[in-house]
Chain A
Amino acid sequence: MTSTNNIPVSVIGGYLGSGKTTLINQLLRNADGRKLAVLVNEFGALPIDADLIEAQSDTMISISGGCVCCSYGNDLIQALLEISKLESAPDHILIESSGVALPGAIAASVSINGNFEIAGIITVVDSELILEQASNEYIGDTIERQLGDSDIVLLNKCDLVDEVHLAYLESWLVEKARYATSVRVTYASLPNSIVLQDYVRDTRKQNISFNSHTNIFESQVIEFSKEYDANIVAQKLADPEFNLLRSKGFVPTPSGLQAIQTVGRRWSVTDAPPDAKPGVVVIAEKLNSKIHSLIRIFNDE
């Protein structure tokens, strides 16, 4: 069981040119007071938009809003520990994994350290190029392994391909990214809450605000009318049948409230803090009838 004091870590993967950097800059722009730390493998190809940078040293870039960006070179864990010991510790860490790295291996290494917990592996794909990349003789199997590691796949640049192609990609991903929920985006744009699992003590106060071009996402709160086994609830919400992007909140159980989180097919159950209130927020690209009936089951039965 992990402690709720752990710093959440998201791994952002995807091949060169897929839109990882755009995603990271979006997250920084919309950080809204949360302190994000971005770890990149290489410093030189500056991943941060110039207007966001406040100051820069050899080892760190300071970004407006208390965010930072560091490079991790050959020792990721050491870089994570250093960043977590900063005077103003980050609320969430994003690791940008390099083009041929396996994000699952990065997540496994990070989760061994007791100070961090994985909040999800997000893989950005270029909707136009992904099939070509996946059939490349050199990197094809690496791309497939990256997809297989993912919790959420962002079908980026979806405006550049037609509906038939997108529908094909989505069914292709059911097999290739078998643990992931996929979501269509343009300019790698989506609400921060989907990538960064907000830690909210009272889920009913949570406000997921979508800006105009990301209003495709929908969310709803599950109110529990009785006690459940938190593991079963979490497992259910991670079931591919519902294709939820994320869910998080607190489930009443016979032994008190427990916190659950899901991202794609990944789920976890931890102790709830003392002031938590029951309720779980679910986020999907579209709340379809299956999800509505699932919510009804928990609310009414």
Chain B
Amino acid sequence: MNPARPETTHVAVKDGQIIGTGTLCELKKWGEYKLDEQFSGKYLMPGLVEGHSHVMEGTLWRYTYCGYFDRKSPDGTLWAGLKNKEAVISRLKEAENLLEDSNAPLPGWQLDPIYFDNERLTREDLDNVSTTRAVGVLHASGHIMNVNSKALELAGMLKQGINHPGVPLGDDGLPTGELKGPDIMTPVGVFVGFDRDILACDESGLRDFGRLCVRAGVTTVTDLAARMSEEVANMMIRVTAEPSFPARVLAMRFFHGLTPDELIAHAISLRQRSTDRMRLGAIKIVADGSIQGFSARLRKPGYYNGAPNGLWYITPEHMSEIYEKALENNLLVHTHTNGDQATQLALDTLEKALKNYPARDHRFTLQHCQLADAAQFRKMAQLGMCVNLFANHHFYWGDEHYELTVGPERAEQMNACRTALDNSVPMGIHSDAPITPLGPLFTAWCAINRKTASNRILGEHERITVREALYAITLGAAYTLKLDDEIGSIEAGKCADFAVLEDDPLAATPDTIKDIRVWGTIQAGRIFSAVDI
């Protein structure tokens, strides 16, 4: 990523900073040095940057993994993907056997019934795991949960006559145990062991997330979004400062539950508390819901299956006030927009706000922005916006979008990386961990190939090259975070952040890039091996 030294043999590091790159001969003149040859057979690339993740994944790993795909936990254990309902029940039973406290709940996560032909997990299925303790499994989308009879009973919901769109009923008139949407998941979730504020991470979860970063070659990671209570902010500042903590975390303040004035004041006070490894002060807005949950806001022609348009999570007036005040106070704002109507609202709103507060280098970023079309990317470029596209989503839910949510044509255009780059919109690509696994090299593979889980190539014309993808997961993402002056490339003056790889990323083909083996990371000159983390 450094045009003066696209490839080099040596890098000189002092006090966590790169002082030069080049040959040993070139670097010798810096003075006395210690030559560290431990990575001589390996490849150093700029530390990878994940521009959209949630550190609460670390906390989720304390619960039972029920996903369809193989996934590595923070301690490096490979959890095999569960290919059918029976396998899910059987893993939950194993976990149940290990619980000593007979009243303890049993939470599981990452269930995705679309891979089981949409066969749902019922209350009765989960009663096979336990009838005496509450059992609940969160779906991969994060928007649905299945619970057993005990959990419903504890929540006072094992009864007839419930009339709620998020609570499907069985033939017996009782809830099936499926709970759709946060309104109804939160009050039951607390009985199955999910924290009320599921966005928040805890201390050991944050440390575990740091271990996941090392395994993925990530040195800078984001937390979108956090409510950042005093307690959580103090904890995150303290834990990230521990000598063993391996990554830099940029956490964005979630806009919800505050007035714009309070939000801006809180973001400013958080910004003042930023440390080297805990970056605070940016703001995250959520404009709409999710496409697969049919809660994203779409322009015409709307959902392919005729579902009604989705939900707004903010009024246009509220968004406008936050944008204007953030521009005035030089605060970075990232806005979640899944549907193209939500994207259009953000574009219109920023265009007006910039007339009142003409900030030159605001870098307001659209997160996910999955359905944006070419005209919207052109507008983003005009307004100085950045985008962070959800490349992984294409692999995990692309088939669903093709068949059900938006139909073939728009599914082929979704997450339009090629169009973004062709229109000079600064671009990152992301995992949204824990929704999909943290791993920028895999995310790069997704954007390069646009293959879905069923091996369909969805939108060949939107594919990007290996080089472009490597840029997106380093400098591209760093730019959207206003950190491109510190990280994202290996050059003099920047942080000594590296992904240490066993294979040459520049020799990788579109197919093999996801198979590059990660040895570990170097963050600000500190060495972290994945094996020992």
Contact = CB atoms under 8 A, between A and B. Distances in A.
Interface residues on B, range: 35 or more
B167 A138 contact: no
Interface string A89-128: 0000000001110100110110111100000000000000
B3 interface: no
A138 B186 CA distance: 28
Contacts of A74: 182, 186, 196-197, 227, 256-257
B317 A109 contact: no
Interface string B92-113: 0000000000000000000000
Interface in B309-325: 309, 311-318
A16 B308 CA distance: 23
A175 interface: no
Contacts of A42: 257-259
Contacts of A76: 183
A100 B312 CA distance: 6
Interface string A196-218: 00000000000000000000000
Contacts of B182: 74
Interface of A: 15-16, 41-45, 71, 73-78, 98-100, 102, 105-106, 108-109, 111-114, 138-139, 141-142
Given A78-B196, A142-B312, A112 B258 contact: no
Contacts of B308: 141
Contacts of A141: 308-309
Interface of B: 156-157, 159, 162-167, 182-184, 186-187, 196-197, 227, 256-259, 261-262, 297, 308-309, 311-318, 341, 345
The 8 closest A-B pairs by CB, nearest first: A44-B259, A100-B312, A99-B315, A77-B187, A73-B257, A108-B164, A109-B183, A44-B262
A98 B315 CA distance: 9
A75 B315 contact: no
A44 B258 contact: yes
B253 to A, nearest CB: 14
A75 B187 contact: yes
B312 A111 contact: no
B261 A100 contact: no
A41 B196 CA distance: 16
Nearest to A104: B165
Question: Which residue, of B187, B196, B262, B345, has the highest number of chain A Cβ atoms within 10 A?
Answer: B187
A235 B314 CA distance: 37
Given A78-B196, A109-B183, A139 B156 contact: no
A44 B157 contact: no
B156 A138 contact: no
Given A16-B315, A109-B184, A75 B196 contact: yes
Contact of A99 (B227, B318, B345): B318
Contacts of B341: 138
A189 to B, nearest CB: 25
A99 B312 CA distance: 10
